[in-house]
Structure 1
Amino acid sequence: MPSPNRELLLLLAVVNSRLSGDVSLPVLAAWAHRSRFDLHRRFRRLVGETPKAYTVRVRLARAAAELVSTDRRVSAVALDHGFASPEVFTRTFTRHLGQSPRAYRARGLHVAGRRAAATHASTTAAVAPCISLYHISTTERKAAVPLDISVRDLPTFHALVMRRRVTRDEIATALAECLPTVFGYAQRHGLAIAGPPFARYPEVGMGSLVIEAGVSIAAPPSTAPDDGIEALTITAGRAVVAVHRGPYDNLPATYQQIEKWIREQGLSPAGPPWETYLTDPGERPDPATWETEIVQPLESAPIRRPVAAPTDPGHP
């Protein structure tokens, strides 16, 4: 029988496929075969928003991305994303994003080019529904599976992050708070999102760790971010890369496999590891299909002796 969280993820997948239609609370309750009160309570506990707030936020995020990546009329964008009229769209858009749809489009993204705009639009559409759902527990622990581990040369990338010191049990809560904040900041300021959300672990201790949660962007912002958000640049270099497949609950086993592989290869870690959430729980509700890319930077030259691998960040 599906866990309570997975039941809601199945519902979210339906919602996100019909965001231009009626997804009001009565309709959702009927789909879920629950009372309105019970669904509202469960939904808010998992997602961190009411069903109405969630629907409006996701519709606005997708519409805003379309405004800066296409030349379609504002009225057409509004109707395609489920707003009753262009007037309702304009009022809602202005209230949430601080300027009208036309002004938002006129300002554009902080980098030019169709490729950056297209990547921003596709990433935003995929990430918006589940930005607060990474690292949720599904209570579906399974045996570790063999990993495809490789060493790659990674390019420099830029990001926006929020930094928090947390205990291991607080990682999921920190991500649920930080990622939506960073994502919303990038959208309001027209920063071109270049990839899925990620979490980096610059400091790991026995009792707590430091987590940097955010999204990659196409280029550094022209002004220093505020609201507790920081610009981050991770320089190019060699790294061990592996893709974890399955629930987030099983991530510790994957980290252990990577650490063992690094030791066996005589390689030396250099710098904090990070994990990128390739799969969106709000779009794909089956935890067995979730993919998380784990990256551990390496020193430029291999060291042919056993070395201490990075401490497992201790995922919940």
Structure 2
Amino acid sequence: MTNANEKRLLRVLDHIHDNPAGDLSLDALSDIAAMSRFHWHRVFRAMTGETMAQAVRRIRMHRASYYLVMTDRPIATIATEIGMPNLASFNRTFTDHFAMSPSAFRKRGELRPYVRNQIQEITLMHPVTIRTEPPLHLAAVPHKGPYFEISRAFQKLSAVMASRDLFRKSGRMVGVFYDDPQSVPAPELRSHAAFELTGKADLSDPLEAVSLPGGRHAVLTYKGPYAGLPAAYDQLYGAWLPGSGEEPAETPSFEVYLNSPMDTAPEDLVTELHLPLK
């Protein structure tokens, strides 16, 4: 991919994330890319592994899943906000993507708290282990804003990695989170979308080099849709940590994604939450 096409791809991905309720048709996105409909569709699919329709659908469903578990907005309102005002169509698409209806997804309660039994012992819903991890050297794209919107930065990152042929020099996909969403306003939250580097790489703009120190980590393994990650963090910090006798290190927590929503059903996604320890 030429540098011009890299810029086109980033521009289109930004537009999709900024305008989930807008016109995201192939014609409209080809206009944003400033390339003919036929050629742009081929460029997009070759570089991302998805058609534009598949990418738009996935981004919209990802946004809807977070709205369902993090807000009390009516389902019809959420459908309209992500560009699917026909509620029946939204219900069908969401059910096809998550294998359950929006109402069932909300009722299941991915934000459910950890469970305490009658003698106040904490019952964790996900396994936590302590491991010694090596340092991580990352190729990253910064993100500022609500953590659930970091998918925008990951799409930019993937586009640039493909453009520069860096995937052969990369390892695991990583999200680094610097702030507590309970105490920092959502627009001010800082994070990085990243890939682990296994060799030298071109890290010119928009990429940044990020290094994380090695050491002892508490690692919670979570399986399921990304919308459930806030509840998993609550368990790690609110249930496991107080009873562990451990103290967090002065380095940020991060997530390691062991598979990808590009080719994995939401229920089968596996994410490690890493809490560095002293």
TM range (shorter): 0.5 to 0.7
Q: Hey, what does 1:165 align to over in structure 2?
A: 144
Report if aligned partners of 1:241, 1:293 keep a CA contact under 8 Å in 2: yes
Task: Please state how far the C-alpha of 1:136 moved relative to its aligned partner.
Answer: 4.2
1:263 partner letter = P
Report if aligned partners of 1:162, 1:228 keep a CA contact under 8 Å in 2: yes
Q: Hey, what does 1:185 align to over in structure 2?
A: 160
Residue 56 of structure 2 is aligned to residue 59 of structure 1: no
Counterpart CA distance in 1 for 2:177 and 2:219 is 15
Counterpart CA distance in 2 for 1:55 and 1:282 is 17
Q: Hey, what does 1:102 align to over in structure 2?
A: none
1:185 partner letter = V
Structure 2 regions of 5+ residues with no counterpart?
1-22, 50-54, 69-104, 113-123
Report if aligned partners of 2:169, 2:200 keep a CA contact under 8 Å in 1: no
DSSP 3-state at the match of 1:195: strand
Counterpart CA distance in 1 for 2:25 and 2:155 is 20
Task: Please state how far the C-alpha of 1:288 moved relative to its aligned partner.
Answer: 1.9
Which entry has the higher C-alpha Rg, 1 or 2?
Answer: 1
Q: Hey, what does 1:209 align to over in structure 2?
A: 189
Counterpart CA distance in 1 for 2:222 and 2:39 is 33
DSSP 3-state at the match of 1:203: coil
1:59 partner letter = A
Task: Please state how far the C-alpha of 1:153 moved relative to its aligned partner.
Answer: 0.7
**Amino-acid identity (%):** 21
Counterpart CA distance in 2 for 1:51 and 1:256 is 47
Q: Trace 1:135-284 onto structure 2 (pairs within 5 A).
A: 136-138=63-65, 139=68, 140-141=105-106, 142-143=108-109, 146-166=125-145, 168=146, 171-176=147-152, 178-191=153-166, 192-204=168-180, 205-207=183-185, 208-221=188-201, 225-259=203-237, 260-270=239-249, 271-284=251-264
Report if aligned partners of 1:186, 1:193 keep a CA contact under 8 Å in 2: no
TM-score, normalization: structure 2? 0.56
Q: Hey, what does 2:95 align to over in structure 1?
A: none
CA separation of 1:152 and 1:137: change in aligned 2, threshold 3 A = farther
> What value does the CA root-mean-square deviation take over the aligned residues?
3.9
Counterpart CA distance in 2 for 1:231 and 1:135 is 27
Counterpart CA distance in 2 for 1:161 and 1:137 is 26
CA separation of 1:185 and 1:281: change in aligned 2, threshold 3 A = closer
Report if aligned partners of 1:240, 1:297 keep a CA contact under 8 Å in 2: yes
Counterpart CA distance in 2 for 1:209 and 1:280 is 23
How many residues get paired?
189
DSSP 3-state at the match of 2:192: strand
Task: Please state how far the C-alpha of 1:252 moved relative to its aligned partner.
Answer: 1.4
CA separation of 1:220 and 1:236: change in aligned 2, threshold 3 A = farther
CA separation of 1:288 and 1:197: change in aligned 2, threshold 3 A = same
